[in-house]
A and B are shown apart, each in its own frame.
Chain A
Amino acid sequence: MGVIEIRDLVKRFGSTVALDGLDLEVEEGEIHGFLGPNGAGKSTTLRVLLGLLRADSGTARLLGGDPWSEAATLHRRLAYVPGDVSLWPGLTGGEVIDLLGRLRGGLDERRRADLVERFDLDPRRKGSTYSKGNRQKVALVAALASDVELLLLDEPTSGLDPLMEAEFREVVAADRDRGRTVLLSSHILSEVEHLCDRVSIIRSGVVVESGTLAQLRHLTRTQLDAVLAVPVPADLADAPGVHDTVVDGTRLTCQVDDAALGALLSRLAALGVRSLTSTPPTLEELFLRHYDQRGTAEPRP
């Protein structure tokens, strides 16, 4: 059974539909990337999972329980880092870490000390004097040092510098290897590509793609750049599954559906190939294909 199971979740704020029949499944022991631009519904989904917001319809299960009615019990088994961490101005970072840790049921002291050092955090400063990145570090240390099964992280690195981001990746990957499950909401694609076992892409409150990175790539096209021995035949552009063809004498650049790749390659081989590069689609291309209005994604009704 999945750690998170969401079916057909709907959440409205007045006339705005934030979640419009969202499905999401997170398996035990994986880092699941939750991708989408601002306002797509990532934070709303997490807040429904935390029992802060109440879904209008659909079902959500979290660690086998109901996220609304069993919120406090379930929260002993998870830790959450909000996207915009707001600390109490008069409390120091160290005090907040201890407070949140205790409310969750206890901190691993060794890990706390280790993380404070790794993230280069001064725990004696007051909340009002921290920068955005430092506030995020406070929440991250409190979450990562807690003895929990599940981490819910909402754009946790958006305020961190590249060094701290690398530390974060290392710590989270090590956590996964020790059996923790992580739901990582992000719009930083390189982070997701590095860390995540599976990815769900959300758009306007609906998950439009979900699967491993390899699976997602299969659904898409490969970029092909070839130089042939002869001028490129004109009918090549019309071959099934070949798109965006650019022909320049003997040089051909195009995008090929994965299903049509074999057929095209045998045709090219027959013509004689001088050089060939094929580039698998990056997550960024996947992402843009879903979001670019001019892209080939089906327009939503």
Chain B
Amino acid sequence: MTGLGTLVRLALRRNRWFLLAWVLGLAVIAPATATAYETVVGGLAGAGALDVMAANPTMRAMLGPPTDLGTPGGFTVWRVGTFIAAAAGVMAVLGVVRVTRADEEEGRTELIRSGVVGRHAPLTAGVLVALLGCLVLGALVSAGMAAVGEPVTGSLAFGLGVALVSAVFVGVGAVAAQVTSAGRAARGLGLAVLLAAYLLRGIADAGPEGSVRRDLAWASPLQWMALVRPYADERWAVLLLPAGLTALLVGGAFVLESRRDHGSGLWSVRPGRDRAAEGLLSPSGLAWRLQRGTVIGWLVGLSVFALGMGSLSGSFGQMLEDLPQLEAVFRRLGQGAEQLVDAFFVAMLGIVAVLVGIVGVQLWQRLATEEHRGHAELLLAAAVPRTRLALSHLVLAALASTAVLAVFAALLATPEALDRGDAGVILQTVGAALALAPGGLLVLGLAVLLHGLLPRLAWLVWVVVGWSLFMVWVGSVLGLPEWLARLTPWHALPALPVEEMGWAPVLVTTGLALALMAAGVWGYRRRDLRLP
């Protein structure tokens, strides 16, 4: 472990903005939700109605099991706890991989390992710094909840739960970094494990009361925070599960690291074709080849999510019909729907449209990676005009993200269509999704503009995406001013079929998106290439 102190400082320095943004962004959600409790419960005509709502399979699948909804603390754990834990898991996976496997892939670790540094020191440093991020997040959640007047014991359990559950994904990221030989693959593997954990607990939670299926939730690390039951007779022993699993995974990562060569993963790289297939031999062909893994990953993930959510939509409508006082609330969330299932679809599409905005930006930003890795230099020095190179990624980003959104909508509506025996629901939902697509294009346009004119500020687009995601996911319960909530690229668009189709916002947003894209490509043609 020689040199560990220096490496920890290095990893801290390289990760400081990354961790700071994640930790602060996630830490404010919990106390903000707790303070909004009165407004929400008041709107629901009492906490009893909240209990009925929380018992619904769909809500359970999305948010997790309710423990005590009678207090702001318990409400917060139910409403945003699992979301915070899952998002912290994303932070943990990305945080570990970026200073371990990604650095090794780029050759930086080799330089460090050649110095007076122990074999496991770089991995240890990466793990320690990511764990620090998780612990600070947990501490801030505890402190924030206590600061808004919640019981200290429960707040401590909540914070520790978030910290230890995200720590598990530090371990997952560390193992993924040993198994794969590329940063992208390691991130993909780590996030796939996270998604699987989320789905597992969703499926389990949607199961009937007292069933074995519900007990399955114990198998998902993401559920362990809720199973500690913060603010409702805390079960402290449950915290041993994430603590133990983290230790096991991190230990496993060290063992695996001892068994592999520097620069390689445990999964060896097989030889490939000695000649290129015809389809690869163009900038668009290359862009697809480079990005198809990302596109397929999102498609599979969101398809599973769509089918899961869609299959629950029937029970959802039924429950709301039994509970007239809830209708009002859901009409508000679904913006005044006559059909509650429609309102549910609108709410789902609102969230997924923003997620798909991430897909578009991620696909486009591959061009920036191509530039700083020196791949773009090879292509542009061959006879590829800049516009063509930019368009190869831009067209893919726009088409693939829109297609993913449409597929999600179709699969979301499929169970309902089967139920009603009417395929029209599918078309209607796909149409509703496509009406939201210009929002994603607008965000993509912003990313293109930044890359073309101000490549150093490319991260700004993530602020817009993060803000939008925050607003659609938790913003509606925080009671924020209307104008603030409207400040997202999606909000002007019509929420079909609840709202009337308005061509003006759709066309204006699309036109604005195209203008930003054109300006960005124009800038990209004029600026110096960013070189390694």
Residues of A within 8 A of B (CB): 47, 50-54, 71-73, 75-76, 79-80, 82, 84-92, 94-100, 102-105, 122-126, 128-129, 139, 152
Contacts and interface: CB of A to CB of B under 8 A. Distances in A.
B381 interface: yes
A92 B381 contact: no
Interface in B148-180: none
A100 B378 contact: yes
23 contacts: A47-B531, A52-B381, A75-B380, A79-B382, A80-B381, A80-B382, A86-B374, A88-B375, A91-B280, A92-B274, A95-B272, A96-B276, A97-B276, A100-B378, A102-B276, A103-B282, A104-B382, A123-B274, A125-B271, A126-B270, A126-B271, A128-B105, A139-B378
A75 B379 CA distance: 10
Interface residues of B, number: 38
A40 B328 CA distance: 72
B381 A75 contact: yes
Contacts of A80: 381-382
Contacts of B14: none
B529 A86 contact: no
A117 B386 CA distance: 34
Nearest to B526: A54
Contact of B380 (A52, A76, A98, A102): A52
Contacts of B380: 50-52, 71, 75
A89 B383 contact: no
B382 A100 contact: yes
Nearest to B373: A86
A95 B105 CA distance: 21
B273 A94 contact: yes
Identify whether the interface residues of B are mostly helix, strand, loop, or mixed. Answer: loop
A103 B379 contact: yes
B33 interface: no
B281 A71 contact: no
B485 interface: no
Given A75-B383, A95-B276, A102-B276, 12 more contacts: A52-B377, A72-B383, A75-B382, A79-B382, A92-B273, A94-B275, A99-B286, A102-B282, A103-B382, A105-B383, A125-B272, A139-B378
Q: Sorted from nearest, which 3 A-B pairs have the closest CB atoms?
A: A86-B374, A98-B276, A103-B382
Contacts of A79: 382
A301 B282 CA distance: 48
B272 A126 contact: yes
B481 interface: no
B484 interface: no
Contact of B276 (A82, A86, A99): A99
Contacts of A85: 374, 378
A126 B289 CA distance: 14
B460 interface: no
B142 to A, nearest CB: 42
B269 interface: yes
Interface string B250-284: 00000000000000000001111111100011110
A257 to B, nearest CB: 43
B532 interface: yes
B524 to A, nearest CB: 12
B509 interface: no
Nearest to A102: B281
